[in-house]
Amino acid sequence: IVESGARGRMTELTLGITIIKDIVVIVAFALTFGFVSQMFDSAATAVVHGHSLAAELSWEIGGSIGFGITLGLLIIGYMKYIGTEIPVFVIALSYLVTVGSRAMTLHPLLVCMTAGLAVNNMSGRGHSFIEAIEKGSLPLYVIFFAIAGAGIDFTVLADVWVLVLVLTISRLTFTWLGTWLGARVAGEQSSVRDNIWMGFLAQAGITLGIAVIVAENFPGWGDTFKSVVIGSIALFQVSGPVLFKFGLGRAGELPARK
């Protein structure tokens, strides 16, 4: 969207739905991760049901949201009263958030998502915050994807290529079906209904982050899980942006060439 300068109904819906979808995914992952961690912890199997698990999950999700709001207020204060070297500040803060979240058994993805929402909705500095992050994001993306790529075991990937194929086809099918039905129920025009599914194919940060977290916490099958997910991400990350730009063109939301 930024590269092409797209504007229109489909563009706005894609951005809004992406934010909501990411929040739902992170919360669902936090719930599932906490439950599965309890199941695989032999010392906790006796209390997997009941108040212990409920209290732990409530802390992980509620605490992450509370920490995220506090972090958002801190970022707003920094931007308001200092306002210099924001990319450096964000990178340093991200490291401290990761360490602090692990120490408090919170979810750093949910913390940072909440912080971003707080900055954008509790101040008028959301656009400046995004620009600052984009300026410092490229080196971090390079490091992040290099580490993730270095962790791919092609021997494992060769053994699970059928799962990668099934996951890829399933995601493609249900993304198209879900968005088409949703747009139809919402009464959206055909230009949106027939093309918006292409805006949700590309995968990167959150999905890759989840795969890495699972691999780190569940040795053995977690590595296989990461290989399957990364294999699917690779396919969608290459084809997703191309298809999305094609969809924006079909919806008539790309600016005319001069």
Q: For the chain, what percent of residues have pLDDT higher than 90?
A: 15
pLDDT tens string 14-32? 888 887 887 788 778 877 8
Report the alpha-carbon distance of residue 59 to residue 221 in Å, rounded: 27
The pair of three-digit structure tokens given for residue 21, joined into one six-digit string: 């979808």
DSSP secondary structure code for residue 122 in this structure: S
In the prediction, which pLDDT does 181 show? 94
In this structure, the number of other CB atoms found within 10 A of the CB of residue 225 comes to: 18
The pair of three-digit structure tokens given for residue 133, joined into one six-digit string: 């992050």
In the prediction, which pLDDT does 46 show? 44
Tokens 């599914």, residue?
A: 197
pLDDT tens string 82-118? 877 877 888 888 888 888 888 887 878 788 888 888 8
In the prediction, which pLDDT does 36 show? 78
Stated pTM of the model? 0.65
Radius of gyration of the chain (CA): 20
Of the two residues 246 and 48, the one the predictor is more confident about is 246
Report the alpha-carbon distance of residue 42 to residue 239 in Å, rounded: 42
Quickly list H helices, 82-204.
86-103, 108-121, 126-150, 154-159, 161-185, 190-193
